[in-house]
A and B are shown apart, each in its own frame.
Chain A
């Protein structure tokens, strides 16, 4: 049982580059979300989705785009990376926002 799979695990980008962080889940969950985690800040919600075709902004959405074309996949796009986006990114899925969330292993992103 794979659960939530994130790729890549590590990434270094130059300022201005773009990239997509991948997230896939095999539990048929409707609710998926992206968080970033910075020291002392905890997990902050970037974007979330309540089902295929439906996305909404979280607490810190600027500089990030998402789409949800299938139930399984929820990619996070950085259009023009900035050093302030250096962080650890976690993808999570659950059957509902108020039920147990399953997290991926995280992507450690460094923007230089």
Chain B
């Protein structure tokens, strides 16, 4: 079965620095990979989607890369701010039984310190 690994340890960085979060997956190569942000007590919120034929995707201060050879996606936040502190989840669509399922990694908590 598909396995998604995200660093379970919290990432602590200084305001203004670039935060880099990693998402690794095994067994299956998804056609799409997504990143979400989750704040405490709230549901996840979609940030970015990247397709397998796209190496990189950007949205404002966010950048996502997708390396299908390494089976890895990197999520970057440049010029980080304390408001970026949250848990970040990666997700991918996984086919099983004729339908695709959207499955998630456990998430990495990011703390940006002033």
Footprint of B on A, CB under 8 Å? 4, 31, 33, 35, 40-45, 48, 50, 56, 58-59, 90, 92, 94, 96-106
Residue of A nearest to B42 (CB): A105
Q: Which residues of B contact A40 (CB under 8 A)?
A: 8, 106
Q: Are B103 and A45 closer than 8 Å at their CB atoms?
A: yes
Q: Which residues of B contact A4 (CB under 8 A)?
A: 43
Please report whether the interface of chain B is mostly helix, strand, loop or mixed according to DSSP. Answer: strand
Q: A99-B49, A103-B43 are in contact. Are A42 and B99 (CB under 8 A)?
A: no
Q: Are A102 and B46 closer than 8 Å at their CB atoms?
A: yes
Footprint of A on B, CB under 8 Å? 1, 6, 8, 30-32, 34, 36, 41-46, 49, 89, 91, 93, 97, 99-107
List the 9 shortest-distance A-B pairs measured between CB atoms, nearest first.
A103-B43, A42-B106, A97-B100, A43-B104, A98-B93, A98-B32, A100-B46, A97-B93, A97-B102
Q: A43-B89, A103-B45, A105-B43 are in contact. Are A98 and B31 (CB under 8 A)?
A: yes
Q: Are A42 and B43 closer than 8 Å at their CB atoms?
A: no
Residue of A nearest to B43 (CB): A103
Residue of A nearest to B97 (CB): A56
Total contacts A-B at CB 8 Å: 72
Q: Which residues of B contact A56 (CB under 8 A)?
A: 97, 99, 101
Q: Are A100 and B34 closer than 8 Å at their CB atoms?
A: yes
Residue of B nearest to A39 (CB): B106
Residue of B nearest to A31 (CB): B102
Q: Which residues of A contact B34 (CB under 8 A)?
A: 100-101
Q: Are B100 and A98 closer than 8 Å at their CB atoms?
A: yes
How close is B45's CB to chain A, nearest CB, in angstroms? 7
Rounded to whole angstroms, the CA-CA distance of A58 and B46 in the bound complex is 21
